[in-house]
Amino acid sequence: MIRCSHLPTLFALVLGAIPAYAAEGGHHALPLDAPRLSDSLPINNSMIMVWLAVAVLVLFARIATKKMTIVPQGLQNFAEWAVESLYDFLSGLMGSHLATRTFWFFGSIFFFILTNNYMGLIPGVGTLGWNTIDSHGHSGFLPWMRGANADINMTAAMAFSFATLWFYWAISENGIKGFLAHIFAPKGSFKGVMLLVMIPVFFFVGALEVISILIRPVALTFRLLGNIYGGEQTLESLMALVPQKLAFLPALPFYFMELLVGFVQALVFTLLCAIFLKLICDHGDHAEDGHH
């Protein structure tokens, strides 16, 4: 039986093996840690991509909303369609109350992850950089830019920020008593002896739920990181299979797959966050559903 304390080690071995094999295959592998740009300030090259992605999003939104009209056209139409579709999707999932309350977060996180995933696929991102030799004489490669979601600090920041907000939203929607009851209290209408039997059962289920809640941000972190870093690394490895002049060729089909993966991962991250929130805020009466 594998003890829980060994799980992170297993994660490390599995994910670390990919770049390691790639490096041993004779070409530069993307480093898992984003290179720091300053020794004194906590800034790395994935942060540059973060702000480039924000700049792209803001620029797009500004152009789309420059001449807003009641009857939308062109970019405004596209921007409104994208935002409204996501809002309707979340509204259908969580109910209009929660969707309205949290759209600033879910809307931002979806488009932010999507843009970052696609920007990570721009040729040169993660592939243009400089070769390094450390003090032990080992050669390495540091890219000038790298996809923000291929940096664990970024994916962890998003996942743990959501986890914090999840607690805030869950408690503000249910109250502390309701929040704890939601996790530990028996569900259903048990009476008498059956209730006494079910209390320890549901308390145990609640304890498992707590572990699940604590694992969620870790799972969100590694799911996004693994998919995006894995995708970038796959493209990198495929390009190293052929002579440099033809390097684009084997990677080309996988670019289309990565476009799909980028969208799916943005959707999965947003969807999971929304479902986690819905689960804790679900009162089970479906009162709101009647309004739709």
Binding stretches for other proteins (CB under 8 A): 5-9, 11-13, 15-17, 19-21, 23-24, 29, 31-34, 36, 42-44, 47, 50-51, 54, 57-58, 60-62, 64-65, 68, 70, 72, 76, 79-80, 83-84, 87, 103-105, 107-109, 111-112, 151-154, 156-158, 160-161, 225
- Shortest separation between residue 57's beta carbon and other proteins, angstroms: 5
Q: Which is nearer to other proteins, 105 or 254 (CB)?
A: 105
* 3-state SS assignment for residue 21: helix
Name the DSSP class of 246: G
Q: Which is nearer to other proteins, 19 or 262 (CB)?
A: 19
- Shortest separation between residue 6's beta carbon and other proteins, angstroms: 7
- Shortest separation between residue 196's beta carbon and other proteins, angstroms: 40
- Shortest separation between residue 59's beta carbon and other proteins, angstroms: 9
- Shortest separation between residue 167's beta carbon and other proteins, angstroms: 15
Q: Which is nearer to other proteins, 127 or 149 (CB)?
A: 149
Determine phi and psi for 36, rounding to 5 degrees. Answer: -75, 145
Rounded CA-CA distance 103/266 in Å is 15
Give the gyration radius of the chain's Cα atoms. Answer: 23
Structure tokens at 60: 């797009």
CA 66 to chain centre: 30
Q: Which is nearer to other proteins, 64 or 121 (CB)?
A: 64
Please name which of 287, 272, 284, 282 lies closest in space to residue 98, comparing C-alpha atoms: 282
Q: Which residues contact 24 (CB under 8 A, 6 or more apart)?
A: none
